[in-house]
Structure 1
């Protein structure tokens, strides 16, 4: 986690249920609008993953400098516009937030 300190990094994980047959469009739009999140000065990065066993389930992980700045972003017009572009693809989902307390690099990280 370059540029962050465990214990201060605030991580957000979204579980998104995507409408059947819309996964490809969802991935395309997520890439197109992603800079509205990653260009925020407090954002440390964002990842999109698809469930290994459920093809219409996606996980978005986003790291932030701290919780306060994420919460400011979460209630901003910028975030609302981002969500509106992804909403047509969602049929459900949830959000989990956490504070990163430690990080260990794996052997493959240096490749």
Structure 2
């Protein structure tokens, strides 16, 4: 009786293991995520982003926004984060994405 019970328990384990392998094959493709490290804080930091050559300059060059006031980014940076900006007197949010270890970044259009 003990052998029969063990045999019945082993078969479902193999069936379940086979199902998991088939599901993994049918998973949708995941886009490649760049494998970069955060730039040194001497290269990219809150002061750089909030300064004249940071987010404000990017918005002026890429989106022709000349009326950008204050920029407030978080003190602890990541590879992607949000900053608050004042555009024509209205508070908006932009998403900053760090592109590489050299401190290059891009900024989304204000929302």
Q: Normalising to structure 2: TM-score of the pair?
A: 0.31
Relative contact order: is structure 1 or structure 2 higher (C-alpha 8 Å, sep ≥ 6)? 1
Larger Rg: 2
Greater strand share, structure number: 1
